A = this chain, B = another copy of it.
């Protein structure tokens, strides 16, 4: 069997290695357009920020070492420029010798990745404008910084790569501004959770222009200027674009392979394209959204690696299935860790899935043990059966742990009632006897069981002030330091004695700092015959973060 692989990084190299392990006799040729294979895409921003100091670290494997170990014919600087499905062959452009040749295959695997989107705006083609995808891009940015010593940089786009770049440019002493068209950073998060990230970014003296797009770039001798849709202008020495990626489908398209509605290569659960001898994996393909079953693009390394492994299985004759992508992601944003898995509200709404949501603000570990840090967890779950549909977490320590646990429960099809029961590891340096994930389960389950209705910050904003009665159940001190306009202060510990102050003909909205005391207050009022009582989910902490 002769197998050709296009693309020598996450999906391609993983497939090649796995295929060799499964089949010692296959002839495997791996083509890579660039000079490097198996590089650490995800490490590139950190090389720019001098967190990763050695160039060699960016290469997980070299062509020499990999071909030695796996007996693979690795051809770098070799671009596959055409697929000839009828002939079962590809045309390869040997970029070093500028020569084109044909190579035949029994099976072909495409893992060409995705390319950074470059908007069609004036000034975008300049040697002060960068995108980041591979090692050469990285060196280009790093060399520019080292030689030109830019003082200011504008990062366009506040997704993963944009934010990682912003942090890393900031790390090497550059003044950074971020421009984002949407109303919040990190598109796959909801606004209420992203708001926490906004505050953190601003606290680092990084400029954050939200709800604003780039209209044009102007380049002068000594500096450039970014003109925004709002008319604002930002002077800068360099511009980095991180506005997203687009699947590399040129080869596939020209070969007549089916593409999906989102523009990626269409594959079945075996990673097979519409041509059964051609497989595709990684950023170039469309995957099934694990939550709602729709077709989607999720360019992440974990899925790419796993898909490569699965494609190799199938090429080697083992039926192995890919069951969809949840989009579990994590991101360091300065001191913060931001992570999510599953669907956000927009995705759920688009898919027409009925959901409920809660926000809590637990501590990373037992508060009596030093170093406990706050985190915020938003949990989205099915209104019908409590199935966990998504989670977003922002915090410092232990965010990665909680997102992975929740991601696992989603994979298992578990419900919020299962979260209540999870038996997670507790000792004071690591967690609490009721882990934040358990706590999210309790709070969510209480909503579904009707033990405590919740209301969210936006509904509080929009409340009918005539018909609602807003109670701040925190202490007088907390109340005096800032509350929601119109709230009456009745501390939870006094509530039982002050019931007569609360009107029985209005909807009662309760809030405390994070939601816990509000819940207790809610339970007290409900059992004293108040009919419509709601607890502000996430409490004043979320309200303040989102509205201020």
Residue in B25, B337, B430 whose CB lies within 8 Å of A337: B430
**Cβ of A408 under 8 Å from chain B:** yes
Could you list 10 further interchain pairs (A-B, Cβ under 8 angstroms) beyond the known A43-B369, A69-B493, A400-B430? A42-B426, A302-B423, A305-B434, A306-B423, A306-B438, A339-B425, A405-B408, A407-B422, A408-B424, A411-B422
- Mark interface residues in A323-335 (1 if CB within 8 Å of B CB, else 0): 1011111111000
**Interface size range on A against B:** 35 or more
Residue in B23, B302, B429, B430 whose CB lies within 8 Å of A424: B302
Contacts of A290 in B (CB 8 A): 423
Residue in B46, B302, B433 whose CB lies within 8 Å of A433: B302
Q: Smallest CB-CB separation from A58: which chain B residue?
A: B368
Which segment of A189-197, A464-472, A521-529 sits at the interface?
Answer: A521-529
Residue in B23, B52, B306, B433 whose CB lies within 8 Å of A301: B433
Check if B412 sits within 8 Å of A418, measured CB to CB. yes
Q: Which residues of A are at the interface with B, using a C-beta cutoff of 8 A?
A: 10, 21-25, 40, 42-43, 46, 51-52, 57-58, 60, 65, 68-71, 160, 290, 300-306, 323, 325-332, 337, 339, 341, 366, 368-370, 398, 400-401, 403-405, 407-409, 411-412, 414, 418, 420-431, 433-435, 437-438, 451, 492-493, 496, 519-520, 523-524, 527-528
Known A-B contacts A369-B52, A407-B422, A523-B24; A69 and B427 likewise in contact (beta carbons under 8 Å) = no
Give min CB distance, A25 to chain B, whole Å.
7
For the complex, give the distance between the alpha carbons of A52 and B368 in Å.
7
Contacts of A10 in B (CB 8 A): 433
Q: Smallest CB-CB separation from A304: which chain B residue?
A: B433
Q: Smallest CB-CB separation from A44: which chain B residue?
A: B428
For the complex, give the distance between the alpha carbons of A57 and B68 in Å.
59
Known A-B contacts A42-B366, A520-B69; A341 and B425 likewise in contact (beta carbons under 8 Å) = yes
Q: What are 19 pairs between A and B in contact, CB < 8 Å?
A: A21-B520, A40-B366, A46-B369, A46-B428, A51-B369, A52-B369, A58-B368, A71-B496, A302-B423, A302-B426, A302-B438, A328-B424, A332-B429, A341-B423, A401-B404, A403-B425, A404-B435, A408-B408, A409-B412
Q: Smallest CB-CB separation from A18: which chain B residue?
A: B442
Give min CB distance, A400 to chain B, whole Å.
4
For the complex, give the distance between the alpha carbons of A306 and B441 in Å.
12
Check if A42 sits within 8 Å of B428, measured CB to CB. yes
For the complex, give the distance between the alpha carbons of A303 and B412 in Å.
22
Q: Smallest CB-CB separation from A21: which chain B residue?
A: B523
Check if B52 sits within 8 Å of A370, measured CB to CB. yes
Give min CB distance, A536 to chain B, whole Å.
18
For the complex, give the distance between the alpha carbons of A304 and B434 in Å.
10
Contacts of A303 in B (CB 8 A): 423
Contacts of A339 in B (CB 8 A): 425
Check if B25 sits within 8 Å of A527, measured CB to CB. yes
Give min CB distance, A24 to chain B, whole Å.
4
Check if B305 sits within 8 Å of A433, measured CB to CB. yes
Check if B412 sits within 8 Å of A408, measured CB to CB. yes
